[in-house]
Structure 1
Amino acid sequence: MKPLIHVIAAARPNFMKVAPLVRALRAEKWCETELVHTGQHYDAAMSDAFFRDLSIPKPDHHLEVGSGTHAEQTAGVMVAYEKVCLARRPDWIIVVGDVNSTAACALVGAKLCIPVAHLEAGLRSGDRTMPEEINRVVTDSIADLLWTPSPDGDENLAREGRAQCVERVGNIMIDTFEMLRDRIEAARSYEAHDLTREGYGVVTLHRPANVDDRDTLTALVDGLVSVAAETPLVFPIHPRTRKMLTTFGLLDRLEAAPGMILTEPLGYIDFMGLVTAARLVITDSGGVQEETTYLGIPCLTLRPNTERPVTITQGSNRLVAPSDLSSAAHAALATGRRTAPPPALWDGQTAARVVASLKRRIVGAAAGTEALTA
């Protein structure tokens, strides 16, 4: 019987990371791959659009966990996923990123003594107030195989005594982009808003630290309005952000601001169609920092820290406080795009390296066992 591999997906960032990996694994004849969707991302419109855009197959298991507190989500995923594993035990579990489902499924695997591999391991912001940071630390402490995207990940894990489990494979997000580059460029998403290449900026905003506090969100709206007066800004508004803008009475101001273009959340193709042709990106997202670094697009990250420091040291990303957004944006617009090469192994071949790494462990271990028993 072929070894069974579970690939876990939970939220939109996961979808982008598992798409090229599931495709690569299902092209292999030595293993069987099942996709497990925990349902942590429960907005059907946003979730289904990403599945369509990324050509992700229908999940083999849908846990339908939905919303809740961090504890409720984590516990719900553990209970539901344990049942899946007990019904048919996988040989390996692959978790990605840093959402609650990542830590939850890793815990299930560890407690059932099923090997766990963590893709995008070793990222650290140093900020334990971020739920994602807790998920990263927990997952990396119990996973059996740690696939890192960059040298800083290796160094973080070495400091934590996990160097023996590390294998650097590169950035899976770039695989997704390159897999869909032709469709992204053909989309020309900016034309739907009567914009021209490098004649606008893109905004994403959703982190609680930015949108749940009235004063912080007001400062961000002030900055965005100022930037939009210089260059148009396309702002696909996350449901959480729209809710808080409305609650604080700020949505009307954005809607009336010259140069501000507000949209509903976008699928991956349309969103990246905007990003690739943008002059500037303003975000508090993790993945967008990587994509803009790969493309050399100035990126202002509205956070005091980042778990992806390579996007600053080798990329086009800068950390910006809400109060400094306007001046930082004006400076970035004057500087323009960066032409330096992306970090090593950010080349669209990460999924192939992941598959090769897993095959060495599974097929190689099986061959060694057969030799010993022959």
Structure 2
Amino acid sequence: MKILTVVGARPQFIKASMLSKAIKAQSKIEEIMVHTGQHYDHNMSTIFFDQLKLTKPDYYLGIGSGSHGEQTAKMLFELEKIMLSVQPDIVIVYGDTNSTLAGSIAASKIHIPIAHVEAGLRSFNKKMPEEINRIITDHLSHLLFCPSKTAIHNLKQEGIDKEVYLTGDIMYDAVIHFKDPAIQQSTILNDLSLTAGNYFIATVHRAENSDEPERLKQILTAFQRLDKTIILPLHPRTKNKIQHFKLDHFITSSHIKTIDPVNYFDMLALVSQAKAILTDSGGLQKEAYMLRIPCITLREETEWIETVQTGWNHLAGYKTNQILDKVNHLKLPQYSPSIFGDGRTAHVIHNILLHSF
């Protein structure tokens, strides 16, 4: 059996590393990996292959940044050529990026079955490009691997009920596998003069926040008014927007430490020892829950509704006062159910693939 895996962004590298490990433990599946190059910064791309001990991709497209249409079109063109050449039995895509969309459309046009890892997620906000990507991918996919019961329910509401599997979340596999090595090997807390439990991690990168000057200003004002150290890894796109909107002065306070995007081990070390997370990232909301770190989400909705229901995640939106209110009233919940499986999602997916083709 031959599978073609399409990745292009940091979370996809992490998820793919776990399934690749499960595949390599067997000899019945040949995996061919394509890296679209959607993330091309060293700390957001190449280094992950080294840290996660991923085999270097068989194909690197080097697409880079661009508008959604330009980026997706370039990927479609290149991926179709590769798929026609490789003739895989199935194409595997992860998550909700433009790489996910391009991989699923390219495969569907030439009648190659698609497996979607992290299927069924919905924010119900179609202004988010990620929402469009995940809806289209789910409706094109032949195998749908869902991280939670909510995801299965969402698919059923859209009439998708065949070849839908509750597998757990493959990111949980990675958190369990890499947490201890990350804490042991990373020096970032010492490098930044941090004490465990005495700082916040903040990230802002969603277009709905970073592209809107008033929203971005309100979020940065909240960071400015907090009285605890904030580590703010600045996504290149967000950094450019802050400069463009002339909001630099909001992040010059002594308690705000802006840093370049960090590698997975450093980020895992930072998140696992933080007091709380402030983010608009879907992946970080989920990782915070897995690590039992409170999260304040800088959006009005989330795909990970279970994390809100358990009290570990709080929707604050973008307004300064609402963010500060959520921070000031943070409490550690008493209950943290295993909503993302048992850390063996990669093995579950691997076995389904083996028995499906």
- TM-score past 0.5 threshold: yes
Task: Report the Cα distance in structure 1 between the residues aligned to 2:5 and 2:67, rounded to whole angstroms.
Answer: 24
- Per the alignment, residue 355 of structure 2 pairs with 360
Residue in 2 that maps onto 1:175: 173
Shift of the 309–277 alpha-carbon distance from structure 1 to 2, 3 Å rule, reads same
Query: In the alignment, which of 254, 260, 283 is matched to residue 251 of structure 2?
Result: 254
What CA distance in whole angstroms lies between the structure 2 residues aligned with 1:361 and 1:315? 38
Secondary structure of 1:16's counterpart equals: helix
Q: Note the 1:82-101 alignment, pairs <5 A.
A: 82-101=80-99
- Scaled by the length of structure 2, the TM-score of the pair is 0.95
Q: Which residue of 1 aligns with 2:342?
A: 347
- Give me the whole-angstrom Cα distance separating, in 2, the residues matched to 1:31 and 1:207: 36
2:263 is the alignment partner of 1:267: yes
Give 1:279's aligned residue: 275
1:331 aligns with 2:329: yes
User: Secondary structure in 2 aligned to 1:163?
Assistant: coil
Q: Provide Cα deviations, 1:70-111, integer angstroms capped at 9, x if missing partner.
A: 111111111101111111200111100000111111112112
Give CA-to-partner distance per residue, 1:41-70, whole Å, 9 cap, x none.
233442122222222210011122222211
Tell me the equivalent position of 2:76: 78
Q: TM-score, normalised by structure 1?
A: 0.91
State the aligned residue count: 354
Contact 2:221 2:250 survives alignment (8 Å): no
Q: Which residue of 1 aligns with 2:296?
A: 300
**Counterpart for residue 372 of structure 1:** none
Are the aligned partners of 1:150 and 1:343 in contact in 2 as well (CA < 8 Å)?
A: no
Secondary structure, aligned partner of 1:164:
coil
**Inter-partner Cα distance in structure 1 for 2:27 and 2:104:** 26
Verify the 8 A CA contact 1:185 1:273 in the aligned structure 2.
yes
Identity of aligned residues (%): 37
CA distance in 2, matches of 1:357, 1:344: 21
Alpha-carbon shift at residue 345 of structure 1 (Å): 4.3
Quick one: structure 1 residues 299 and 249, their matched pair in 2 at CA, closer, same or farther if it must change by over 3 Å? same
Give the Cα separation in 1 of the matches to 2:50 and 2:29.
25
Matches within 5 A, 1:1-374: 3-186=1-184, 187=186, 189-227=188-226, 229=227, 231-255=228-252, 257-314=253-310, 316-323=312-319, 324-332=322-330, 335=331, 337-362=332-357
Query: Cα offset for 1:37?
Result: 0.7
- Displacement of 1:315: 5.2
**What letter matches 2:310 in structure 1?**
Q
The unaligned stretches of length 5 or more in structure 1 are 363-374
Secondary structure of the structure 2 residue equivalent to 1:180: helix
1:245–1:7 CA distance, 2 compared to 1 (3 A): same
Indicate the larger mover: 104-113 or 199-208: 104-113
DSSP 3-state at the match of 1:282:
strand
CA contact (8 A) 2:9 2:44 kept: no
The 1:345/1:317 distance shift into structure 2, 3 A limit, reads closer
Moved over 6 A (4+): none
- Is there any run of 5+ residues in structure 2 with no aligned partner, and where? none
Measured on the aligned residues, the alpha-carbon RMSD in Å equals 1.4
Cα distance between partner residues in 2 of 1:96 and 1:270 = 23
User: Which region of structure 1 is more displaced relative to structure 2, 272-281 or 191-200?
Assistant: 191-200
